A and B are shown apart, each in its own frame.
Chain A
Amino acid sequence: MQDIISCLQSIATPQLIAHVIVIMVIANLMLGGCAYLILLERKVAAWTQDRIGPNRVNFSFGLVSLKSKHFGLGQALVDGVKLLVKEDYDPPQVDKILFYLAPVFAVGTALVGWAIIPWGGLMQWGDQTLVIAAADINIGIIYPLAIGSLAVYGVVVGGYASTNKYSFLGALRATAQMLSYEIPMSLCVLIIILMSGTPRAEDIAVLQAAGGLHHSWNILFQPLLAVIFFTCVLAECNRAPFDLAESEQELVGGYHTEYSSMKWALFFLGEYMHMITGSAMFALLFLGGWDLLPFLGALPAVGGIGLVLLKFAIFAGKVFFLLFVMMWIRWSLPRFRFDQLMRLAWRSLIPMTLILLLASGVIVYLRLSPWYFLLANIAVFVGGLFVGPLLPQGPPVNRRVPLAGSRFSPLVEVAAKG
């Protein structure tokens, strides 16, 4: 008996309990939050298009009669119930194993990707300092990259297993897109590791929150890099304007055309959780993580439970803002064409991040002030503006094809000429 108690005591260290609590809180918050993100998405879409959006469903669910409509907040729950009770139909031709495996990939990777995000910073507990994150591993921000490289399999495998040519095209597009945008994304993370001198998530946040002129949010030092990283996050999440894998107009939904009910919903759950993870990564790398305001160093690195909750609230606020920006972008910008997508990655993002990596390496080596990073960013941006048009143009693909009857070559003219 004594053994068992000592056993339990040695297992259940405060740190482990902290990890478990964070996992339970965040996982549930994310799962519940996703439902409301979909509602927010619909609301944002409506606002952008000068509509009102879902505003009828309240929390009465037809059981009691309520006057207030609760801003339509019940919609998310109703949607969830609808998806659960819908018929789960498997088309007869699909590759069963992979068809079932694909949503698992989509959600499984999304569920573990956010493990290193230091939501609450550090907490003082007796003589110990606890890391308020789901896991505290050495490789820190390299870990989400590793998980992110697995995330694409949901799309690819799902698209293949559907035995549908539209799904299949969507999967192939997703493959090329993911492979291309992973490179600049990894390079961005590498530059941040380089300038912070550590890959550990908590240390990166602490460095940005330290205050003073030389320790501030990285977005102030590396604005161009922040823009590039955000672009890559959008692409990795398959969000518009990078949603070529599902583009409704051409591919009927792409990889998830053949999916229905909860399996379909799992894809969306995965997508929204990836959005949350991506936003959290952005907030961590560029917006100082849990830091309140740049330059001030307002929050100490370690504190009690109140500070942890405050930090968590700040972090969540930043993530929420970034999610809103993502939706804003989605409903404002048109989708890229595929060759534009590839050109953006290979001809602008990758070269620019490579040059920035080189410049950052030199700056770090010479131990210059971090404001030189800003200088390098501006130089690369201006240089890109001037050099870009001088680069050799690619082959003339995707030019207007004179399809008879299209608006570029109407049939009338053809008939007149003939």
Chain B
Amino acid sequence: MPPNTPHLPPWETLRLILPEITLALGMGAVVLTPFFGRKRDHRSTVVALAALFLALVAIVNTTHFGAATILGGMLSVDPFSQFFKALLLVFTGLVIVQWRSTARRNPRPNDTRMQDAPDLLCLLLGASLGMALMASATNLLMIFMATEAASYPSYGLAGFRKRDRLASKGALKYVVFGAASSAAMVYGMSLVYGVTGTLSLAGVALHIGEHGISPLLAMGLCGMFAGLAFKLATVPMHFWCPDVFEGAPTHVTTFLAFASKAAAICLLVRILLAFSAASSDASAADLGAMATGFAALGAVTATWANLFALRQVHIKRLLAYSSIAHAGYMTMTAAVALGLPHGVGSPNTVASAILFYLLTYAFMNLGAFTVAAVIIQRTGAEDIRHYAGIAQRSPLLAGLMTLFLLSLFGMPGLGGFIAKVWLAMTLSGAGTMGFVLIAVLLVNTLVSLYYYLRPVYHMYFTRDDGQRPAFAAAPASLAILLVSALLLLWTGLSPGAADRMTRDFATLAPPLADASGTPGMGALKDPGQDDTNRRRAPAAPRRRATFR
């Protein structure tokens, strides 16, 4: 099958978007579960996990296909997107398991209750669907719709503890910022459309390659990327992140910390690679400026987040700033994509570095938040200064938390280290700018050591005043923790296999190169039947086609 086929037979197209269809159907099924029987939480969880599993199977079913841009250039289904989708689905499934195992007997009375399971799961699946489509979108309209489809459920999830003032505050901030950034995004897209006359990413890239970036187009692109920057929580638009993470239930925080940022970074990589693929001498300077802009954005984000993280004592806020910093690292790396002319269509170093980073980040993030969730469930401690004595009460959890935090920092021997090394190696391909970025990465990593070690310090070295009972994680949480820890150790100690895998999957479908693949305008411009004569000769009225 040729890789670049806009018009596949419908059956093939259907198979390629079957994962998304499965997710959507599963979402509908989850909504319907309360109507059948009483054990709504149990059933809806089973249905949701089944939908995720089936979608995963459907993704595996597409991996042999290679890369294709389908549906007239709306979506690209390629190894890069399928790898991310598989990771996202596994992650979502594990988050659901984490929620099931930590939500029972939770001391916080207004945390997610079991009978709200259908709503929670519906929103989780809906958000996953949007994020999966974000990773595939190659049309401005699709990008916008997918981003919105990822955002709206997230707003609902952020405010899921609806009686909680903190949650409401976070959710409201999220919604208001989100609405503003969506507006910026769609306005930017309209400018881009106005200048380039096409909605397809490839068409925009071609236009940039031919004509460079005019000031108007630059404004449009700024607006468009502002929407993405909001999802990534890069610096001028990161305010929502700590508040949302603090207010939302821990499982939601876990989900948002990885999924929303990962989807946005995948989309960013896809857009930037498309731009760089179509670059020419005319646009090289403009794209270089754009690359510098993204590099600066990433560097400032990482630095800012790390500096603010130093003062955090709330574990979720701390991890929120940590996630902002990680998004900054990845944005820096994505910027390099603009400088690489050989980007699209071949295995790609930027894409593979990002995929590797996402793989490890998903699991260290999941691990750290799961430990935090277990600690909240068993002791109610959200402030890391209240972590005193946890090392005695539950040595295993303390050890695992240490491992995850050190991996987030980038301790050699753990997956986080290798991931950062890969980022640095990718950055080193970008000349002077790359070396500056590596320095930024290094300094930031060192700074982050301080706040990653603070919970560890409190767990191990702060005296606990009283002897409180030991506790352990529920079996399911423990399983998640052990799987994550093993995966981090495996990627850290023998990164070869994971590296080969991410390199294999780092292929992006070249977006439809010809701008005529742009759907829509053709349909409107097409003269079609001339209706203007109807006014002159209505004596013979058009018969209802139906009534023959």
Contacts and interface: CB of A to CB of B under 8 A. Distances in A.
Direct interface between A and B, CB < 8 A: yes
B1 interface: no
B467 interface: no
B538 A301 contact: yes
B535 A196 contact: no
Interface of A: 122, 128-129, 131, 136, 195-198, 202-203, 206-207, 210, 214-215, 300-302, 363-364, 367-370
Nearest to A196: B544
Given A195-B546, A215-B544, A370-B546, A136 B539 contact: no
A131 to B, nearest CB: 7
A367 B536 contact: no
A301 B546 contact: no
Contacts of A369: 547
Interface string B518-543: 00000000000000000111110111
A197 B542 contact: yes
Contacts of A202: 538
Contacts of B536: 128-129
Given A197-B542, A202-B538, A301-B538, 9 more contacts: A129-B535, A129-B536, A129-B537, A129-B538, A197-B546, A207-B543, A363-B546, A367-B548, A370-B546
B497 interface: no
A197 B536 CA distance: 19
A300 to B, nearest CB: 8
Nearest to B537: A129
A136 B546 contact: no
B: contact size bracket: 10 to 19
B539 A302 contact: yes
Contacts of A215: 543-544, 547
A122 B547 contact: no
Contacts, number: 52
A301 B497 CA distance: 77
B547 A131 contact: no
A3 B544 CA distance: 45
Contacts of B535: 129, 131, 136
6 contacts: A129-B538, A131-B535, A195-B546, A196-B544, A203-B541, A370-B546
B546 A129 contact: no
A20 B329 CA distance: 67
Contact of B544 (A128, A207, A300, A302): A207
A73 B548 CA distance: 51
Nearest to A369: B547
Nearest to A367: B546
A220 to B, nearest CB: 13
Contacts of B539: 122, 129, 300-302
Contact of A206 (B537, B538, B545, B547): B538
Contacts of B542: 197-198, 203, 207
Nearest to A392: B35
B259 to A, nearest CB: 34
Contacts of A128: 536
Contacts of B538: 122, 129, 202-203, 206, 301-302
B543 to A, nearest CB: 8
Contacts of A214: 544, 547
Contacts of A210: 541, 543
A303 to B, nearest CB: 10
A206 B544 CA distance: 11
A207 B547 CA distance: 11
Nearest to A206: B541
Interface string B455-476: 0000000000000000000000
Contacts of B546: 195, 197, 363-364, 367-368, 370
A94 to B, nearest CB: 31
A51 to B, nearest CB: 48
A218 B533 CA distance: 27
A196 B544 CA distance: 6
A368 B543 CA distance: 14
A198 B545 CA distance: 10
A239 to B, nearest CB: 33
In the A-B complex, list the 4 residue pairs whose CB atoms are closest, starting with the nearest: A206-B541, A214-B547, A302-B539, A364-B546
A286 B458 CA distance: 77
A206 B548 CA distance: 16
Nearest to B540: A301
A291 to B, nearest CB: 12
A367 B541 contact: no
Interface string B12-32: 000000000000000000000
Nearest to A130: B535
